């Protein structure tokens, strides 16, 4: 059986969300663990709060919710 992952689109994941689902959607898109994506976001937010905060807010406003 041939399996093909068709995750070509980044969207928010409302089932695994903590705040808005941006990190869980990004983790699902690139097949990373969700906890690692959230940890990287927090560390980057501590280092660059303005850029990461603005990017997260823009992603929250612009991304669609994943339809299951």
pLDDT at 2: 54
Nearest partner of 66 among 20, 10, 27, 18, judged by Cα = 10
**pLDDT for 40 beyond 60:** yes
Tell me how far apart the alpha carbons of residues 34 and 1 are, in angstroms, rounded to a whole number: 27
Distance CA 25, CA 65 (A): 9
Which string of b and e fits 29-57 if b means at least 16 CB within 10 Å? beeeebeebbeebeeeeeeeeeebeeebe
Confidence label for 48 from pLDDT (cuts 50, 70 and 90): very high
Write down the pLDDT at residue 49. 96
44 has a pLDDT exceeding 90: yes
Residues β-bridged to residue 12: 65
């Amino acid at each position: 059986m041939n399996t093909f992952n068709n995750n070509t689109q980044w969207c928010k994941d409302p089932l695994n969300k903590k705040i808005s689902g941006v990190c869980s959607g990004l983790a699902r898109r690139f097949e990373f663990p969700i906890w690692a994506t959230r940890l990287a976001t927090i560390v980057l937010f501590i280092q660059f709060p303005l850029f990461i905060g603005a990017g997260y807010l823009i992603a929250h406003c612009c991304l669609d919710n994943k339809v299951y």
